[in-house]
């Protein structure tokens, strides 16, 4: 029973992390039809920033990580994707792959191929005893961070006129422009929000590992992309839910698969993904059977 609760808390935490990463991808995809693989490199940049600045105090390191996430995200939009407005989603995806590999090489040049390490919030790596059950503080912190961010984001999306513009653009970009919603504003907003979410994911992941290398964000973004697709990448909350499910399933499989099968954990996750996509090709949370074009 104790092990079940511990693994449930861990799975909720893993789901929350991937949910945030997938939400970042969904926000951008909803507006410009870009599944941004280079989102991983934004996570990496924020991760490096946390490693290098943590000694200055969390109140310095976290705002800097957010700033770097937002700036890099906006630079990607201004420097690359804004110049490809008429490109197809497939072309945009390939461009984001290229950008991802380019930035990984840049990180290698700047920080070497070795991981950079620092004890980031070591107190969160401790476990606490709750009614006889050992729970890692980081898992609880991750769930709280994700909850607070999601609450703030939902309030922003549903209450502010900027958030409504973003939702409108994600639902129907052409009509949004015909109504008078400025395209550049909502696109910039979606990239900025994805940068903030990348910083949050980077924080949780650096606390977990204490080390960041040039490909730090790649495994996160691969699973987040898969999650976003199975949830319904063109629906903001679909991407979030899909990311959560993949993170949750991955963590639960890691806890419950027999040890001689744990090496095949990802194979089981991908098998589940394939089954979901065969049954619901547009995603779990999207009604209808076709993807919007």
Which residues sit at the interface with another protein, rule CB under 8 A?
161, 164-165, 167-168, 171-172, 174-183
Up-side HSE of residue 218: CA atoms within 13 Å toward CB? 13
Rounded least distance, CB 155 to another protein, Å: 14
- Which is nearer to another protein, 181 or 239 (by Cβ)? 181
Q: By CB neighbour count within 10 A (0-12 exposed, 13-18 middle, 19+ buried), where does 203 fall?
A: buried
How near is the Cβ of 162 to another protein at its closest, in Å?
Answer: 10
Cβ-in-10-Å burial (0-12, 13-18, 19+) of 277 comes to middle
Structure-derived torsion over alpha carbons of residues 69, 104, 107, 31, reported in degrees to the nearest 10: -20
Choose between 190 and 208: whose C-beta lies nearer to another protein: 190
Nearer to another protein, 119 or 182 (CB): 182
CB 77 within 8 A of CB 189: no
CB of 142 to another protein, least distance (A): 29
Q: Which is nearer to another protein, 104 or 165 (CB)?
A: 165
- The two three-digit tokens of residue 83, written as one number: 């110049």
Cβ 154 to another protein shortest distance, Å: 13
CB of 167 to another protein, least distance (A): 6
User: Cβ closer to another protein: 55 or 158?
Assistant: 158
- Which residues on adjacent β-strands are paired with residue 198? none
Cα 47 to chain centroid distance, Å, stands at 13
Residues comprising the chain, all counted: 293
Q: How far is the CB of 166 from another protein (least distance, A)?
A: 11
| Residue burial 64-80, b: 16+ Cβ < 10 Å; e: rest | bbbebbbebbbebbeeb
Q: Whose Cβ is closer to another protein: residue 50's or residue 169's?
A: 169
What CA–CA distance (Å, rounded) separates 14 from 10? 6
């Amino acid at each position: 029973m104790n092990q079940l609760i511990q693994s449930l808390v861990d799975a909720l935490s893993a789901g929350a992390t991937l949910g945030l990463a997938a939400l970042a991808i969904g926000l951008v995809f909803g507006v410009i039809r870009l599944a941004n693989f280079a989102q991983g490199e934004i996570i990496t940049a924020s991760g490096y920033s946390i490693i290098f600045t943590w000694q200055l105090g969390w109140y310095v390191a976290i705002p800097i990580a957010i700033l770097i996430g937002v700036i890099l995200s906006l630079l990607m939009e201004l420097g690359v994707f804004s110049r490809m407005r008429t490109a197809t989603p497939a072309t945009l995806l390939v461009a984001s792959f290229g950008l991802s590999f380019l930035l990984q090489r840049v990180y290698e040049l700047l920080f070497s191929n070795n991981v950079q390490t620092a004890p980031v919030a070591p107190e969160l790596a401790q476990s606490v005893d709750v009614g006889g059950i050992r729970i890692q503080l980081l898992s609880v912190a991750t769930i709280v961070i994700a909850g607070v961010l999601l609450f703030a984001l939902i309030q922003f999306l549903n209450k502010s006129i900027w958030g409504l513009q973003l939702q409108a653009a994600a639902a129907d970009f052409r009509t949004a422009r015909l109504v008078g919603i400025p395209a550049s504003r909502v696109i910039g907003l979606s990239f900025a929000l994805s940068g903030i979410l990348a910083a949050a994911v980077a924080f949780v992941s650096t606390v977990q590992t204490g080390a960041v290398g040039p490909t730090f964000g790649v495994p996160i973004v691969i699973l987040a992309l898969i999650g976003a697709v199975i949830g319904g990448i063109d629906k903001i909350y679909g991407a979030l839910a899909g990311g959560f499910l993949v993170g949750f399933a991955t963590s639960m499989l890691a806890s419950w698969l027999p040890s001689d099968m744990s090496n095949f954990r990802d194979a089981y996750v991908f098998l589940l993904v394939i089954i979901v996509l065969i049954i619901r090709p547009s995603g779990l949370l999207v009604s209808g059977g076709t993807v919007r074009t």
